[in-house]
Every structure is written in C-alpha cells, then in structure tokens.
Amino acid sequence: MNVKRIFSAILTLLGIAGLITAAIVYANSATGTHNIKALTIFGILGLLFFISGVSLIRTTKDES
C-alpha cells in the first residue's frame, strides 16, 4: 500500500477529530462564555489537518 495514501488518511482523520472536538467545546459552554483558546487551537489545527489530508489524497496518483 502506498505510504502517502496512509499518511493522508491519518491526516484527514485527525482533522475530522479536531473539528469534532472544537464543535464539542463550542457546544458545551452553557454559560455563554466559550473557551476561546481551546476553540481556536482545535479548530485551526483540525481544519489544517483536514485540508492537507484531502489535498494529499487528491494529488496522489495510483501506481501499481
């Protein structure tokens, strides 16, 4: 199996996990005050990993 495909799948899954974690942090603020630091860290890293993983999947060609 191609190493780039495995790495891109891992990046994509990490990105999805980061975006879900950011959504959970945002939804769990009952008082209206959000934890801005955690929200930005999880959101930016999740978006970065997700976009880089998807773009790596698109650019990797199948070579058998």
Q: Domain range spanning residue 27?
A: 3-59
The residues, ordered by sequence, that sit 6+ positions from 11 with a Cβ below 8 Å of its Cβ are 49, 50, 52, 53, 56
Between the alpha carbon of residue 19 and those of residues 29, 34, 43, 51, 59, the distances in Å are 16, 16, 6, 11, 23
20 lies in a domain? Answer: yes
Mean pLDDT along residues 23-34: 78
Number of domains in the chain: 1
Report yes or no on 64 lying in a domain: no
The reply to whether 44 falls in a domain is yes
Q: Is the pLDDT of residue 37 over 90?
A: no
Average pLDDT, the chain: 87
Q: Which tens digits make up the pLDDT trace of 7-25?
A: 999 999 999 999 999 999 8
In a domain, 22, yes or no: yes
Token pair of 38 as six digits: 């955690």
Chain-centroid distance, C-alpha 36: 18
